[in-house]
Chains A and B, each alone.
Chain A
Amino acid sequence: MSDLSPHSALHRDKLPKPFSVGLSALDPGDWIVPDMHLADQLREKAEHFEKRREAVLQAEDATLDAQAETLALLLEYLPRTYPDIYKVSGDCVTVDPAGLAYRISDYAHAPLELACRLVQDDLVIMRKGEDGYRIAAAAVCFPSTWVLADKFSKPIAEVHAPVPGFGPGTRTASLIDRIFDNLKVGHPAQRCNWSIYEVADLHHPFSHSTHTRWTDTSGGFFNGTWLRAERQTLTRLPASGDVLFTIQIVVDPVSLLMTHPDRSQIAARLKAHIESLDMEQLAYKGISDHRDAVLAELSMLAEQGQQ
C-alpha cells in the first residue's frame, strides 16, 4: 500500500506547493482523523495545559457558547466515528488508547480546552467582525513558529502578515476572506502545509533557528532535520455562525526519506517546491541560507528514480 501513508509527513497529500491556498472539499466523515501519534500528542497537550495554560489557551468571554458548540460537535462525532477510541458516558469522556478520562462538567468554563485535549488537532474559533474574521478563541498547543498571544483577537490578514503574499491588502488575503464568508454549514474544507524544521518539538512558537546541521558532512540535510506537515480544516459552526479552524501536526525525521520506497518521487516533489520559492518565501521557511545545499541533497535522491 505504498501510497497510503496517512500517518507520515511524507505523504503526498501533505506536501502541496508552498504558499498556495490549495483548499479542497472535505468529507464531513473525515473531519478529525486520529493517527498513530494520538496517545503521545494528547499526553503532551495535557502537559501544556497544565504547565503553560495561558500560552496555549486564549478566548474572548463572548465565545463561551461557540466553544461549547465545538465541544458538543466533537462529543457527538468522535465516539460515533471512532467507537474504539472515544467513549462518552454521562459526564465522562474517555480516550482509551491514550488512557485519558475527563469529566465534561469540569470544563464548563473552558469547553475549547477540553475539545483540544481530546483531539490531536489544535482548535481556533474565527469570528467575523468589522475587520473580517479574527481569532476569537484558540487552543493551540502545537504552534508552528507563531505565538498565540501575538495573534489573539487579530484579523486573519494581520495574523498572516509575516507570510509572504498573505498579509493585509494582498490578493490572497481577500481570497481567504471570501473563502471564510462562503463556507457553508455541512460543507467543510481542508488544506495541507509543510515546512522543514531543525527540531522535532510539536510546541514550536519560536522562529526558525539557523540550520547549522544542514551542511554538516556527517549526513547533511538528512541528519537531524524534520519535516513538519499540517492538515488544516475549516468548518462553519451552525449555531454561532463562527468558523472552526483545526490544525493537525505530524513531524517526521527527514531521514525517513532514506528508507522510503517512493523517496525519489517525494524528493523530486520537495525539490520542485523549494525551487519555486523566491527569496522572501525561502527566508520565511528558514531555508534561504541553505537552499542550494538542500536542493543538491534532494537531487541526489530524486535522480535515482530516473536511473
Chain B
Amino acid sequence: MSDKPNPKDPEANSLSGRLSRYAKVGTGVGSAAARVAAGRAFSSGNNHSAEAKLFRQALGSLKGPLMKVAQLLATIPEALPAEFAEELAQLQNEAPAMGWPFVRRRMAAELGADWQDKFKSFEREATAAASLGQVHRAVSHAGEALACKLQYPDMASAVEADLSQLKMLFALHRQISKAIDTTEIAGEIGARLREELDYVREAAHMRLYKAVLADRPDIHIPDLHEDLSTARLITMQWLEGRKLLEFKDATQEVRNLLCRNMFDAWWRPFTSHGVIHGDPHLGNYTAWSDGSGEPQGLNLLDFGCVRVFPPSFVQGVVELYRGLQADDRDRIVSAYEIWGFKGLNNELIDILNVWARFIYGPLLTDKVMSISDGSGSAAQYGRQQAFAVHTQLKEKGPVRVPREFVFMDRAAIGLGSVFIHLRAEMNFHQLFETALRSHELRSVGDRQAKALQAAGVAPAIEAV
C-alpha cells in the first residue's frame, strides 16, 4: 500500500480527498489500532508480508520521530524479518521543513538575538528536512560555506513519547514471536535516538574523525564551527559533493574508487583507533571532485552514530579473521570470547561460524570480487542471514550476545549493501590486510585514549 499521492488524481492530494479515502479504510478511530493491538497483525500464520504491511501501518500511524524509529529499525538487520524491513524502508513520510519565522526564532534561542550578525548570509529556505530538525546553508564572515543543522525544540519529549509506543508494539509482537529480544532492540533504538539529539556528542565525534582520518586527504570531514554551535545547533563547513547513487552507472574505476574510500573510511578508524561509524549507508556520504568533475574522494557527513570499542575488541576482530583464515577452531572460539560471547557451546559456535564466514567472506578471499549473498538486492543484503543467526542464537541459547557483535554485523551489512549498490569489484582481502598493516595493533589503546581526550568524546551511551 503506497502512501504517495497519485499525481494524476488531484483529489488524492487534497485534504478532503485524503479524509474521505481514510474514512473508507475502517469503521472508526480505532479500527487499525484495534487490529494491530489485538495482535492480529502478527497472528496470521506464516504470511509474513501481510503481517509486515500491518506492522508498517501501525508504525506509520505513530508519526514524527517514530518515523525515524521505523527507519532505524530498518537498519537493524536482526530486529525484524527481511519482509518487515522492506516495508519500513518505504516509510518516508516526513514533515516538510519549518518556515522562516520559526527558524529565526529558533536560531535566536540558540545563538542570541543578534544571531544574524554572526553570519555573512543565511538562507531562509532549508536545504534538507530531517525528522528531528533541518539544515540551512549559510556563509561565514570569512566567506566559508556553512551547513547549519538546527534541531526542533523538545524533541526529547517527542522521542520518549514514541519510544513507549514502540515498546508496546514490541510487547505485542513478543506474544507471537519469541525469536528476538525486542527489549534490547527497543533499548538500542532509544539510545540511538537520544544520541541523535545530543549535538554536543556529535560535534565531538566530528572532531574525533577529523583527527583519526587526518592522514587521508581523499576523505573529507567537515570543519566544526564551535562558536556557532550549541546543544541543538551544529554549524559546520559545507562540503560540496554529489550523492553516491549518482555514480551507479559510472565507470568501474570510479565506482571502485568510491568503494575503496568507503572501505577505508569505515575500517581504518577501527583498526587504528577502535572506532566505527555505526550506520554506514549511502545517505551519510557524498563524493567530492576537483575542477575535472571526476570524483576524487568521499565526504563524511553524519556523526550521530559513532561507536567507540574497547581496544581489546579490535584484537578480537583480527583474531577471528586470522582464525577463520587458518580454519583454526580453537583460535576462532577464543576470538568469540574476546568479543564478549559467554555460554558458548559447539552448536552455538557452529551458528556463529556460519555468520562469521558470511561477514568475513570477502575479507578472506584474496581475489578481485563483488559482494553478493545470492539475493542480488542491496536492500536485502545480509538481512536473511542476520535475522536467522540471531533467531538461532536465541533458540539454542541462552547466550549473551555482546553489543560489539551487534554493531559490527550491522555495519558490515550496511557497508556490504553500499558495495552492492555501486557494484564494486575489488580485492577486499588486500584492502583489509593493508588496513591492518597501516597501524600497530598493540598501540590501539594509546592512540584511542589520546584521540578521545583531544576530541572531547565522552564514553558511549549504553544502549540498554
Residues of A within 8 A of B (CB): 1-8, 10-14, 26-27, 29-30, 33-40, 81-85, 96-98, 200, 217-220, 222-224, 226, 231, 252-256, 258-261, 263, 265, 300-301, 303-304, 307
Contact = CB atoms under 8 A, between A and B. Distances in A.
B49 interface: no
29 contacts: A1-B1, A2-B3, A2-B18, A2-B60, A3-B22, A4-B61, A6-B31, A7-B165, A12-B19, A26-B28, A30-B29, A33-B30, A36-B166, A38-B37, A82-B39, A84-B38, A200-B157, A217-B109, A222-B153, A253-B157, A255-B154, A258-B153, A259-B94, A260-B63, A260-B64, A261-B96, A300-B101, A301-B98, A301-B102
A106 B153 CA distance: 47
A50 B63 CA distance: 34
Given A27-B28, A217-B105, A304 B98 contact: yes
Interface stretch (B169-177, B209-217, B320-328, B364-372): B169-177
A194 to B, nearest CB: 13
Contacts of B31: 6, 30
Interface of B: 1, 3, 15, 18-19, 22, 25-34, 37-40, 42-43, 57, 60-65, 67, 93-96, 98-99, 101-102, 105-106, 108-109, 131-132, 152-155, 157-158, 161-162, 164-169, 171-172, 175-176
A184 B105 CA distance: 53
Contacts of A223: 153-154
A40 B165 CA distance: 9
Contacts of B37: 33-36, 38, 82, 85
A152 B30 CA distance: 30
Contact of A85 (B26, B39, B154, B167): B39
A97 B171 contact: yes
A37 B154 contact: no
B36 to A, nearest CB: 9
A219 B3 contact: no
A257 to B, nearest CB: 8
A249 to B, nearest CB: 13
A1 B155 contact: no
A88 B287 CA distance: 60
Given A253-B157, A259-B63, A265-B15, 8 more contacts: A2-B93, A7-B62, A33-B29, A85-B37, A253-B158, A255-B153, A260-B64, A300-B102
Given A5-B63, A253-B154, A261-B95, A40 B30 contact: no
Contact of B34 (A26, A33, A256): A33
Contact of A5 (B61, B95, B132, B152): B61
Nearest to A34: B37
B154 A13 contact: no
A220 B105 contact: yes
A218 B109 contact: yes
Contacts of B102: 300-301
A10 B158 CA distance: 12
Contact of A97 (B60, B94, B152, B172): B172
B64 A218 contact: no
A253 B34 CA distance: 23
Contacts of B65: 256, 259
Contacts of B96: 261, 304
A3 B18 contact: yes
Given A252-B161, A259-B67, A35 B33 contact: yes
Contacts of B25: 1, 4
A261 B152 contact: no
Nearest 8 Cβ contacts at the A-B interface: A84-B39, A219-B153, A33-B30, A36-B165, A259-B64, A255-B154, A253-B157, A97-B171
Contacts of B15: 265
Contacts of B101: 300
Contacts of B32: 1, 4, 6
B105 A6 contact: no
A258 B38 contact: no
A277 to B, nearest CB: 24
B154 to A, nearest CB: 4
A18 B15 CA distance: 22
A84 B40 contact: yes
Contacts of A11: 29
Contacts of A36: 33, 37, 62, 164-166, 168-169
